[in-house]
Structure 1
Amino acid sequence: MAWDEWEQLKADAAARGSTGMRLNHVPLEPGGGGGRDLKSDKKVWTQAGEDTKGLQDDVGKALGKLDDGQSGLGEMSGVQSAAAQRELYESWKKYVTGVKGRCGELGGLMERSGHDLAMSDGEVQAELEKIKAKYHDTEAVGGQAKDR
């Protein structure tokens, strides 16, 4: 397609103006809603929250295995590879601990949302932002030259 033809198609589309968005091909009625009610199942939200919180157990087991695997490293003075491995371990331990905490908090928020469905979208968004701020990802440390 030639550039001029593309520009003409864009100009024609702009001239037609915006069409209203329709979900599931149901035209909007005055006052919104399209004649359908939004339904949410409390049991599903509660179960999803419980399942998300349940991930903490598996993450905790993985963290324990990570600790066990690190315990045999021994003295690290003078061995660059051991120091690099220790740095990687500390980074991952911090990250995985954060994942475990995030699962608990997000699962709890989902459960609370499911039990009463009384939180507004803004309140849920604010809670999600708190979790996001608390558990921001760790800085990358692997592969970076340090003091070299």
Structure 2
Amino acid sequence: MTWEEWEQIKSDVSTRHAAEMQLNQLAPSGGGGGSAPDLASSPAKKKAAAEAINRDLEPGVTRGGKHATESVNVAVKEFGARDGHGWDTSGALKKAHAMWEKQVKTLLDRLATEKGLLSTTAVDFRNNDVDIATQLARQSRIDRY
């Protein structure tokens, strides 16, 4: 692989990642700034947020992780030992990528947790309401009259 080919691959990956996931951007106007709440508080909004995690975020992170693994593996091989000599870059890339893979797994685990919490919040609130109503009914002196 020549240096020009490597630069082209990096450019292609950068362009693709920019198109797939644009996480480094400001919130849309009206959201997050205090003028209008952006908290998903209705069951429908929570369900939509959980579906967005399932449909968009998790597959995007997984796809990006696989692509990065393939790219790093190619680079490690290119910088690796040939005829007993290789670049230190190969080993450094392996170590950096191992750490990056852990971070991707942590992110995917967090997304799965958030998705689960969004899906169960309405049930949890309903159960809390029922529990509180049951406790209050047991302790109410109004029922004795």
Alignment TM-score, normalising by the size of structure 1: 0.47
Alignment TM-score, normalising by the size of structure 2: 0.48
Larger relative CO (CA 8 A, sep 6+): 1 or 2?
1
